[in-house]
Structure 1
């Protein structure tokens, strides 16, 4: 019988031990639904960034023009940076979900262990008493018979409860494995992020220097943009003036140059035949969000001041990569009061994008960018990056034009 007691005591003790310690996990999710939503968004952003990176890398490999190849390569690297950022966000959300489940399981196990701990103590005390001493004590034989009967009826119940407990412990160990995998994913993405970001900084600086050397009047244009930013009473007025300047520049660029006098009058009449023109209001192709993150304010939502949102606001991770939402020309890049550093991108056909909330800038006025070209980084603290899209000066919802 002592062997039976010892076996039961060992069975219960084995079930009570071995619960893994909780891993360190990031905070920031109030409910499991928040973590699950963040995980779904991060995984989708990770897939989108991977697809953009692959497409841009193929474009860079196919391109024969040095400038086009360089822009595509920089945009591809920026997409890979955003892919790593989304991977970190996904790992953190997965870790938060796993940790929450493990805490709930640990609480349930603690409640189940209380009666089993008391039973284990009693069984261990009984198992240490020699059977010969039990036979010599008065009443011991009768107690022995009763104890044996109790043990016979208790053993199946103990085995049943410890089986459920062992199942919970197996689940806890599987959750521990999932948590360690999420931590490993986060570390791998952090390493990739550091490597790609250092490469991107060097590449963006090269492109900025090349653009500055190629555009002789870039410094004068940057000075004019700075003067406009100081004279404008608000951001809307600044964007409006820059749009007017961009529209004038487009009209001047569209003017026909001198044509050679044709030798044959018939050829002149044929060359004057009307040609189909592209749409004058076509939106930017391959339009995308400038930063990976959840939308915290939608287009047209009422602000605290009562005004309506002219764009959307995105929650950006610390030092997140910010990219150009579409191809175009940098009309303004610099600090603006109350908005941090901002970038205004002129697109074709009178479209303009405004990105605010940058901490650093990787572009200069006059530089040509493609969709996904690096613009800069978000601040070191979590904050908002806003995106506005305008057509002919009127705000439109940028989510309607994502490609």
Structure 2
């Protein structure tokens, strides 16, 4: 009969396996919400765009450089920026997957709600359909009942078909979300593969640079020993920072001392100008700053911990083995392990400015090395990586957010 065709379609729609619904509704990710993931997605996309612009500028500078050492250094910095772009893309991909998963859970609930009344109606229609036509001829009143059933079915079937079309639409949307999730997972896997290849290339370039700078490393041996001695003598990270800042102050003072005055070529003429560089400026405008790693800032400057101690810097949750770069130009004053902080790097920017970067697992920076913004310092660890960044001026903590460029 004609009225049985929509009934068969309705029965097939209601027979969707529960396993399919479960597949479309992944279990919630602990500690996540849709708003938070959307914020993370926007931040990651902004970080990726910023890293892309940095890498393009560094690549252009590398192409314009003739000196082999400078070209290699620019290439390394450009690759580090590309890696940070990939890390931001990876974070964006993870946020995108979490958003789709949340939409799938919502869609699964809607689908279940739409199915319930149709399931009940289908059960009633099945009871009607099971009555044998021959039995209706021998039962009293069966003919009139059959007529009434026909009238009821004629009124109900348009509503059933409308609900069926709505259910079909919800099923199609669920399938589209499942396809989006699979595409996002594939893109995430490709980003991971590309990131691993970039990290391998960076390690090769850094090894080549270390071999080329062996002379610098040998000449910095005494300074390395002095820095390690300060690290062993310091009772805590604050005392180590103070020792390094005091040493930097002495060095800056020595740099400002006038050199020997050369005799003028003729009596009464002015002495030749000095080639000694001017001391580093101490104002904030002269210190363009950037965050050393891609990730989510989980602790801000001045935030109180559970024990009531206020943060003197920022803490960033990064991806495993995230690349860490110099936040500003300076000189590596300390690079090595420090108890309770993993491996740390302290950068002397001159003019009383210093930066502490703590929580690294691998170091590529060397004591005595001059770094520019974006030069690699090392990488974070694999398990629950968190990077702490503190900026100081004259031994006082400074809010990094005011200097970010």
TM-score normalised by the chain length of structure 2: 0.89
In structure 2, the residue matched to 1:72 is 74
Any idea what the Cα deviations from partners look like across 1:25-47, whole Å, max 9, x if unmatched?
Answer: 88344322222222122121111
Any idea what the Cα deviations from partners look like across 1:326-360, whole Å, max 9, x if unmatched?
Answer: 12221111110111110011113332111001111
In structure 2, the residue matched to 1:377 is 379
Distance 1:38 1:28 in 2: 15
Which residue among 55, 58, 66 is the counterpart of 1:56?
58
In structure 1, the residue matched to 2:282 is 281
Distance 2:36 2:313 in 1: 24
Any idea what the Cα deviations from partners look like across 1:71-95, whole Å, max 9, x if unmatched?
Answer: 2211211111111111111111111
Distance 2:224 2:359 in 1: 20
Which residue among 329, 332, 343 is the counterpart of 1:330?
332
In structure 2, the residue matched to 1:14 is 13
Listed as ranges, the gaps of 5+ residues in structure 1 are none
Of stretches 57-66 and 12-21 in structure 1, the one that deviates more from structure 2 is 12-21
Q: Is the 8 A contact 1:74 1:204 kept in 2?
A: yes
Q: Give the aligned length.
A: 400
Distance 1:196 1:23 in 2: 34
Which residue among 228, 238, 241 is the counterpart of 2:240?
238
Q: Is the 8 A contact 1:211 1:366 kept in 2?
A: no
Alignment of 1:349-368 (within 5 A): 349-368=351-370
Shift of 1:13: 2.2
Shift of 1:135: 4.9
Distance 1:76 1:51 in 2: 10
Q: Structure 1 pair 346/111, CA: closer, same or farther in 2 (3 Å)?
A: same
Q: Structure 1 pair 265/365, CA: closer, same or farther in 2 (3 Å)?
A: same
In structure 2, the residue matched to 1:387 is 389
Distance 2:139 2:38 in 1: 63
Which residue among 339, 344, 347 is the counterpart of 2:346?
344
Shift of 1:299: 1.4
Of stretches 6-15 and 250-259 in structure 1, the one that deviates more from structure 2 is 250-259
Distance 1:32 1:365 in 2: 44
Distance 1:132 1:318 in 2: 73
Alignment of 1:1-400 (within 5 A): 2-14=1-13, 17=16, 21-22=23-24, 27-123=29-125, 134-135=136-137, 139-258=141-260, 260-265=262-267, 267-268=269-270, 280-283=281-284, 285-400=287-402
Q: RCO greater where, 1 or 2, for CA within 8 Å and sep 6 or more?
A: 1
Shift of 1:250: 3.5
Q: Structure 1 pair 54/129, CA: closer, same or farther in 2 (3 Å)?
A: farther
Distance 1:393 1:306 in 2: 21
Q: Is the 8 A contact 2:10 2:122 kept in 1?
A: no
Shift of 1:138: 5.3
TM-score normalised by the chain length of structure 1: 0.89
Q: Is the 8 A contact 1:302 1:308 kept in 2?
A: yes
Listed as ranges, the gaps of 5+ residues in structure 2 are none
Q: Structure 1 pair 163/7, CA: closer, same or farther in 2 (3 Å)?
A: closer
Shift of 1:68: 2.6
